[in-house]
Amino acid sequence: MGGSTSAADGAEPLAAAPRSRRIGVLLSVAVLAYLLDLGSKLLVVARLEGHNPIRIFGSWVMLQATRNPGAAFGMGAAMTIVFTIIATTVIVVICRLARKLYSLPWAVALGLLLGGAFGNLTDRIFRAPATFRGAVVDFISVKHFAVFNLADSAIVCGGILVVILSFLGTNPDGSVQGGSSQGGSKPEQRPDDGDQQD
């Protein structure tokens, strides 16, 4: 009976290991995306704001500092506070999803979304003209498209990956719609009642 108890106790750390690794991937991707976005914005504000655009590929792709009070790619300029609330909601939802995360691709996708959302939310909170109404720093200008930043890029890439994973029927918990879990990434079940009674 004592041996069964030990086996049951040891099952939890083994079961938690895959999820903790996926959460580690999610956080690593989120931190990397956030730091790249934050660093690029600080550099742009210090070196590019108030100066002429830097041409990367002629007039097709340029680095051009702008302040955007709207959403990604300059949409909804009059709804700054709304997009602040949306970004905060996205962060809360991702944190809740992380509790049942066992899929590596989903960890990468959610990490990109989380890092991008935090990147632009930082601007909303701390930049002028006011707290929670701050204008986001955009600087990647693509001709006939928009001016955006690395946070926007992370959000778009994460969103595309989420759509692909959903289309393939893959769930955040590692299961496949209409099938079983992928590669045993979900935790193993506890020993059955018969084993515990021995």
C-beta of residue 81 within 8 angstroms of C-beta of residue 69: no
DSSP reduced 3-state for 100 = helix
Instruction: Find the catalytic residue in 37, 123, 138, 173.
Output: 138
Active site residue 152: yes
C-beta of residue 34 within 8 angstroms of C-beta of residue 119: yes
Instruction: Find the catalytic residue in 152, 173, 195, 198.
Output: 152
Q: For 121-182, where are the E strands, in sequence order?
A: 136-142, 146-148
Distance CA 131, CA 81 (A): 9
Question: For residue 140, how many other CB atoms are within 10 A of its CB?
Answer: 19
DSSP per residue, 35-81 = HHHHHHHHHHHHHTTTSPPEEEETTTEEEEEEEE-SSGGG--TT-HH
Give the helix/strand (H/E) hosting 189: none
Distance CA 108, CA 128 (A): 32
Residue 129 preceded by cis peptide, ω within 30: yes
The residues annotated as belonging to the active site are 138, 152
